[in-house]
Chains A and B, each alone.
Chain A
Amino acid sequence: MSIDQHREYVLRSVEERGVRLVRLWFTDVLGNLKSLAISPAELDNALTDGMTFDGSSIDGFSRVQEADVLAIPDPDTFEIVPWGDRKEPEARVFCDIHNLDGTPFAGDPRQVLRRHMKAAHEMGLTFYVAPDIEFFYFEPLVPGEAPVPIDQGGFFDLTTNDVTGELRKRTIRTLEQMGIPVEYSFHEDAPGQQEIDLRHTDALTMADSVMTFRLAVREIAARNGAHATFMPKPLEGVQGSGMHVHLSLFEGDNNAFFDADDSYNLSAKAKAFMAGLLRHAPEITAVTNQTVNSYKRLVPGFEAPVHLSWARNNRSGLIRVPIAKNDNPLATRLEYRSPDPACNPYLAFSLMLAAGMKGIEEGYILPDEADANLFEIGDEVLEQLGIGQLPTSLAAALETMERSTLVREALGEHIYEWFLRSKRIEWRDYKTHVSAFERDRYLTSL
């Protein structure tokens, strides 16, 4: 397919559908969605030459002396936005960011993932992911007051006055209209908590989908008088929101993770990939769990992983190997359970792929399955078994990342440096904050 036909299709659609505004979307290093709105008249030019903008205004983008960068729309991501005004339609298109000389811009997370997908492709492999995304619905927020969950439902609950069910239904309809296929959705364990599971696509398409997903969920909630959040642990005492990611590698039509002769139905590639993920998990955690708040989810007792282990049916481990329905070879996959939905999906998927591929390249040996409930085993026993833990705070995760050549190479110097610097500042701000916990505990007793 030539790029000209892509372009013509987009331009013609804008004309035929009377699109009034085209939003050029891209993502900053921390995973925030950024948008540059242009009029349809400028679109032809944007598709051909890109749109120049001042990158230094975006966090993690260029330094001041090399400020200008170029946003080049990826025409296959052109979609009419379904939640806008039907009479004045808007469209969006994802962009790749380039330097003015046309080379990929090192500060663009989408370019980082694109580079990893291409490298895998050159080895004949395609990386597929399917995330299970959890989030909370709250009543409209009142400044200074605790957030109120929109319902008191529990796991899989179907409540009579099903506000959340209706919200979820509208959200799913919108996602499907934007080409994001939903596999399941249900009420999660905590009050107001929802889960929507997406059907697998290649990782680049999925990273785009996660960005669209987060906006669509928030947008539809806001239009229906609710507040949606992807904060990893918004409420104390109930489980937080994770983003379990199902991973597989395909060689053409065949699942490279499947081996009918293995007792786990896992190929040697799958085992080495898993070993790579387990070994490098602590190094990539600052990216998969990038906020101070993320580490309040990764504690024992709330269905979140803590230990660097794998198992088939044990949900206390970091990686689960789900039993494929009807022994379907295509469904063999790994479920990486630590990430949360506040991460930058482009960088998180890049690092999962890099960690796994490292395992394959170096032929890492997979440790034994840990099928006991690890939360009930003492730390000394775990140490004897050689089962380590994920970093327990953002500071610890950053220290581990700082020592990682894998992460440095996978992200590229530009993003690696900037990410560490920015997150160090976040940690310093947190460290100097005096919390209600401390005042409640110490103010009168000490």
Chain B
Amino acid sequence: MLLVFPDPAPPELARTLDLGGSSWKAVSSTADAGAHEPDLGWAGTIVDATTDPEGAWAFLRAIRKQADEHLPVIVLIGGAQLTELEHRHDLFDEFCLSPFHPSELEARLQHLLSGDAAVVSSDMVEYGALTLNLETYQASIANKPLDMTYMEYELLKFLAQNPGKVFTREILLSRVWGYEYYGGARTVDVHVRRLRAKLGEEHAALIQTVRSVGYRFGESRWES
């Protein structure tokens, strides 16, 4: 079941989804989304940002903060709105210019849902010598258990689920901690330093510092 924002959905979007045979539900708030969430969770979200951009971004921010698992998001924007995507890359996975061609939206949607599903549903995250069991919250490096605080675990989990991607401190702070934390952005450095110490010298390089940007887990996707 797809989550659609806002309610009512734009007629063109509703028609495309219906013709494509998708089941969907339009909502006007995250509370709505929570109330109507199917047992298996939402498969993905389509957010129309052309009519009320402010409301749409706020909705996505709230969704990202609440969701336990990564919810695939596709956002519909007008051609003049492309600059709005800057600094918001953590809020969506895919976008489509609106007015859209129905078959393009369908193709993008299909691509988005097929790509992510396998990763999200797995309980184990493995990378080199590192193993995270998301079911039991236990982690090990070279088969030795890692003792971590909850936030250290959450940070490592987030990084390990997105290997090769560079994240700024702000993104990590907002995605892992949420905005309310009063430790400030340097908190990310403190936790990375702790994680490296706990991973041990041999594996500390799993978390790379990307100078004047932030951090990356594992090797870059673009280097061999």
Chain A residues with CB under 8 Å of chain B are: 1, 5-6, 8-10, 12-13, 16-17, 75-80, 82, 117-118, 120-121, 126, 128, 176-177, 179, 181, 199-202, 204-205, 250, 252-253
**Residues in chain B within 8 A of chain A (CB atoms):** 68, 136-138, 145, 147-154, 169-170, 176-178, 182-187, 190, 193-194, 197-198
- Looking at A1, A10, A76, A205, the one whose CB has the most chain B CB atoms below 10 A away is A1
Contact of A202 (CB < 8 Å), options: B154, B170, B187: B187
Which residue in B147, B148, B151, B184 is a CB contact (below 8 Å) of A252? B184
Q: List 27 A-B contacts (CB under 8 A).
A: A1-B151, A1-B177, A1-B178, A6-B150, A9-B150, A13-B137, A16-B138, A17-B138, A17-B145, A76-B151, A79-B149, A117-B182, A121-B182, A126-B183, A126-B186, A177-B147, A179-B148, A181-B194, A181-B197, A199-B190, A199-B193, A202-B186, A202-B190, A204-B183, A205-B190, A253-B169, A253-B185
Write out the residue numbers on chain B whose beta carbons fall within 8 Å of the beta carbon of A76.
149-151
Are A176 and B198 in contact, CB atoms less than 8 angstroms apart? yes
Of the candidates B149, B182, B183, B187, the one whose C-beta lies within 8 Å of that of A77 is B149
Residues of A within 8 A of B197 (CB): 176-177, 179, 181
Residues of B within 8 A of A78 (CB): 149-150
Binding site secondary structure of chain B: helix
Nearest CB on B from A381, distance (A): 42
List residues of chain A with CB within 8 A of the CB of B178.
Answer: 1
Question: A17-B138, A179-B148, A252-B185 given. 18 additional CB < 8 A pairs?
Answer: A1-B154, A1-B178, A5-B150, A12-B138, A17-B147, A75-B150, A76-B151, A78-B149, A79-B147, A120-B182, A121-B182, A176-B198, A199-B190, A199-B193, A201-B187, A205-B190, A250-B184, A250-B186
Q: A202 to B183, Cβ gap below 8 A?
A: yes
Query: For the complex, what is the distance from the CA of A213 to the CA of B68, rounded to whole Å?
Result: 35
Please give, as numbers and ranges, the residues of chain A lying within 8 Å of B145 by CB-CB distance. 17
CB contacts (< 8 Å) of A75 on chain B: these are 150
* Contact partners of B169 in chain A: CB under 8 A: 253
Determine how close the nearest CB of chain B comes to the CB of A227; give it in whole angstroms.
27
Partner of B137, one of A16, A82, A118, A176: A16
Q: Which residues of A contact B151 (CB under 8 A)?
A: 1, 76
With a CB–CB cut-off of 8 A, which chain A residues contact B136?
12, 16
Please give me the residue from chain B that is nearest to A183 by CB atom: B193
CB-CB < 8 A to B148: which residues of A? 179
Option from B138, B150, B154, B183 in Cβ contact (under 8 Å) with A10: B150
**Bound state CA distance, A200 and B32, in angstroms?**
43
> Closest Cβ of chain A: how far from B145's Cβ, in Å?
7
B198 touches A177 (CB 8 A): yes
